[in-house]
Homo-oligomer: A and B are copies of this chain.
Amino acid sequence: MKPLAQRLFERLERAGVDCTFGIPGDFALPLYAAQNKYGMRTVVCTHEPNAVFAAIAYARIKGLGIVLTTYGVGGLNMINPMAMAYAEFTPVLVISGAPEIGGRTGEIQVHHLVKDYESQRRVFEEVTVATAVLDNSDTAAAEIERIIQTVVRQKRPGYLEIPRDMTNIPIADPGEAASPPTEPEFNEETLAEALGEIRRLISEAKKPVLYVGVGVRRQNLVEQVTKLAEAWGMAVVSSVMGKGTFPETHSNFVGLFMGEMGDAAAQKAVQESDCVLSVGVINSDVNTGFETGKIPHRKLIVVAEQETLVFHHRYENLPMGAFITALAEAAPAQQKPFVPAVPTPEPAATPKTQGPLRIEGVIRVLKGLDPSQYSFLADVGDAWFIGLELQTDFFIASGYYGTMGFAVPGGLGAGIAAPERLPLVIVGDGAFQMTGAEIAVMKGLGLKAIVLVLNNATYKMLEALDGPRDYYNIQNWDYVGFARALGCEGERVTTETGLQDAIAKGKKAKTSYLIEAIVDKEDYPPILKRFRDFFAAKKAQA
């Protein structure tokens, strides 16, 4: 028998976790005390949404992220970022303290409580794959196992609620339940049949294309899909959410596929292909460039988490991991050569010394950096569209759910999870105003990031969709003054060489370095420009 919290933190350590993100609050105080006692590192953020964002970035790098919070005021302030984790397949576990089981008499209402004691759990059920309330010492160990295993296996978030008087209750060894997760069972005949058909289709295709989504990274299948691409000489395109999954410097890599919005070469490769093998791609409106990149069923094979679709028929209960591994092993020994398409012209590599700073200049400077030294994090809008232009295998963003405010707290999580890289955060002014304060937490931990704030004083993305409106203007801040007030450094830049120099200074700075890049309101990243034109044309038609 060991105290519940001890078993929990020991189990999290075995899962490869070395810290939790959160804010202490009264119902979680014994959990925080236990965490401290059992040697798990405590990272206290400024605001609950930020804690989850940090844990998401951490989880994408380490395979599991943990958030520790109090009841109500803490937990219910995490629903939006948890929805991001759910929508974008990220294994984050929220552990919430809760009122004592022993005090739930109904006579007196407990603070931080909403409708009833089940409300918070019901809310979390909408944004997680597994929830549990540890209100029983006999089942607690098995419940902890169930939640952690489900989260890690399904790569989606979970929720564990611990009433305050259960925190240190002795619980038995979970025994069998604690054995490492076994792969879900599947029918070997289904696998063999699917393998046979798909192997034949790819071999016979003249221009097979491999379309890589984020699921490939989450399921740790990068090596296998790389082998597949090489063995069959397949061109590789990436979905926007899958950006950075397939090595972008690989000779088979063509570009980012997002229909008419993405790389022209990628669109051409998919359109001309006679067989597209899509692996781990989320079939969303943004991913398909609002249907301008819709791929006809007659040439499409879709390998999803638990099933595979070929044209119009479906192999059910076929786990992606097992299938892709088998397909890679069944690849021909003799590699087919890959004939690259005409490469997209690169923007000139020499930065301009004269202002004003253009978005294309920002992209040029960022492309000039050595990508092996940075974790790139992009917020939504402009920042994301700029990030999509970079050639990097280390790119973290909210590419499907699209929530603002992810990137700065994400930089905190990435800085802890991948300390060998410097987080480089690209963020618009609107998103920065939501969560930018997290640079102060980095400072407190002796961490740093380069934070590039694109200041165009607008919700640019909305203007692109809807045209100019007074209420899309964002109140201007002195962002560098903000950084200094939080104990960090920074400077404002208005030219391309200025930006280049500022990044160099940021690399040497002792704290986070905020670069406020003044960009013109009328200036658009290339992909966003295509979005704008697409929606303008649609509007004109309507």
Q: Which of A72-106 contact B (CB under 8 A)?
A: 72-73, 76-77, 79-80, 83-84, 86-87
**Could you tell me the distance in whole angstroms from the C-beta of A403 to the nearest C-beta in chain B?**
4
Query: Is A123 engaged at the interface, CB distance under 8 Å to the other chain?
Result: yes
B123 touches A24 (CB 8 A): no
B126 touches A119 (CB 8 A): yes
Question: Once bound together, how far apart are the Cα atoms of A486 and B127, in whole Å?
Answer: 35
B80 touches A76 (CB 8 A): yes
Task: Please give, as numbers and ranges, the residues of chain B lying within 8 Å of A441 by CB-CB distance.
Answer: 475
Task: Please give, as numbers and ranges, the residues of chain B lying within 8 Å of A434 by CB-CB distance.
Answer: 46-47
B487 touches A485 (CB 8 A): no
Task: Please give, as numbers and ranges, the residues of chain B lying within 8 Å of A77 by CB-CB distance.
Answer: 49, 79-80, 403
Task: Please give, as numbers and ranges, the residues of chain B lying within 8 Å of A87 by CB-CB distance.
Answer: 113-114
**Shortest Cβ distance from A290 into B: residue:** B108
Question: Once bound together, how far apart are the Cα atoms of A120 and B267, in whole Å?
Answer: 34
Which of A136-144, A315-323, A361-369, A458-466 sits within the interface?
Answer: A458-466
A462 touches B26 (CB 8 A): yes
Q: Which of A137-159 contact B (CB under 8 A)?
A: none
**Could you tell me the distance in whole angstroms from the C-beta of A415 to the nearest C-beta in chain B?**
15
Task: Please give, as numbers and ranges, the residues of chain B lying within 8 Å of A109 by CB-CB distance.
Answer: 282-285, 400
Task: Please give, as numbers and ranges, the residues of chain B lying within 8 Å of A283 by CB-CB distance.
Answer: 107-109
State whether A465 and B29 are in contact (beta carbons under 8 Å apart), knowing that A76-B80, A77-B80, A400-B111 are contacts in the complex. yes
**Could you tell me the distance in whole angstroms from the C-beta of A113 to the nearest C-beta in chain B?**
7
Query: Is A351 engaged at the interface, CB distance under 8 Å to the other chain?
Result: no
Task: Please give, as numbers and ranges, the residues of chain B lying within 8 Å of A25 by CB-CB distance.
Answer: 462
B123 touches A79 (CB 8 A): yes
**Shortest Cβ distance from A119 into B: residue:** B126
- Tell me which of A25, A112, A401 has the highest count of chain B C-beta atoms within 10 A of its own C-beta: A112
Task: Please give, as numbers and ranges, the residues of chain B lying within 8 Å of A487 by CB-CB distance.
Answer: 475-478
Query: Is A484 engaged at the interface, CB distance under 8 Å to the other chain?
Result: yes
Query: Is A174 engaged at the interface, CB distance under 8 Å to the other chain?
Result: no
Tell me the number of copies of this protein. 2
- Tell me which of A108, A111, A476, A482 has the highest count of chain B C-beta atoms within 10 A of its own C-beta: A111
**A49-83: contact bitstring with B at CB < 8 Å (1 yes, 0 no)?**
10000000000000000000000110011011001
**Shortest Cβ distance from A42 into B: residue:** B471
A462 touches B24 (CB 8 A): yes
Task: Please give, as numbers and ranges, the residues of chain B lying within 8 Å of A435 by CB-CB distance.
Answer: 47
Query: Is A402 engaged at the interface, CB distance under 8 Å to the other chain?
Result: yes
B47 touches A405 (CB 8 A): yes
Task: Please give, as numbers and ranges, the residues of chain B lying within 8 Å of A46 by CB-CB distance.
Answer: 433-434, 475
**Shortest Cβ distance from A35 into B: residue:** B471
Task: Please give, as numbers and ranges, the residues of chain B lying within 8 Å of A444 by CB-CB distance.
Answer: 475
Task: Please give, as numbers and ranges, the residues of chain B lying within 8 Å of A32 by CB-CB distance.
Answer: 469, 471
CB-contact partner of A108 in B111, B122, B127, B285, under 8 A: B285
A485 touches B475 (CB 8 A): no
Q: Which of A410-435 contact B (CB under 8 A)?
A: 433-435
Q: Which of A386-406 contact B (CB under 8 A)?
A: 400-405
Task: Please give, as numbers and ranges, the residues of chain B lying within 8 Å of A83 by CB-CB distance.
Answer: 72-73, 76, 114
Query: Is A472 engaged at the interface, CB distance under 8 Å to the other chain?
Result: yes
Question: Once bound together, how far apart are the Cα atoms of A401 and B74, in whole Å?
Answer: 11
Task: Please give, as numbers and ranges, the residues of chain B lying within 8 Å of A330 by CB-CB distance.
Answer: none
CB-contact partner of A73 in B80, B288, B443, B485, under 8 A: B80
A471 touches B111 (CB 8 A): no
Question: Once bound together, how far apart are the Cα atoms of A176 and B497, in whole Å?
Answer: 67
CB-contact partner of A459 in B24, B126, B482, B485, under 8 A: B24
Query: Is A481 engaged at the interface, CB distance under 8 Å to the other chain?
Result: yes
**Shortest Cβ distance from A471 into B: residue:** B42
Query: Is A536 engaged at the interface, CB distance under 8 Å to the other chain?
Result: no
**Shortest Cβ distance from A438 into B: residue:** B433
CB-contact partner of A79 in B79, B84, B113, B481, under 8 A: B79
Query: Is A286 engaged at the interface, CB distance under 8 Å to the other chain?
Result: yes
Query: Is A110 engaged at the interface, CB distance under 8 Å to the other chain?
Result: yes
Question: Once bound together, how far apart are the Cα atoms of A82 and B43, in whole Å?
Answer: 27
Question: Once bound together, how far apart are the Cα atoms of A288 and B107, in whole Å?
Answer: 12
Task: Please give, as numbers and ranges, the residues of chain B lying within 8 Å of A471 by CB-CB distance.
Answer: 24, 32, 36, 42, 44
**Could you tell me the distance in whole angstroms from the C-beta of A53 to the nearest C-beta in chain B?**
12
**Could you tell me the distance in whole angstroms from the C-beta of A241 to the nearest C-beta in chain B?**
10
Question: Once bound together, how far apart are the Cα atoms of A84 and B36, in whole Å?
Answer: 30
Question: Once bound together, how far apart are the Cα atoms of A77 and B472, in whole Å?
Answer: 19
Q: Which 10 A-B pairs have the closest CB atoms?
A: A481-B485, A77-B80, A482-B485, A73-B403, A444-B475, A76-B80, A109-B284, A478-B485, A46-B433, A47-B434
User: 18 other contacts beyond A109-B285, A433-B437, with CB at 8 A cut-off?
Assistant: A33-B466, A33-B469, A36-B469, A47-B405, A72-B403, A73-B401, A73-B404, A77-B79, A79-B123, A83-B114, A108-B283, A108-B285, A111-B401, A115-B126, A122-B126, A437-B437, A440-B475, A480-B485
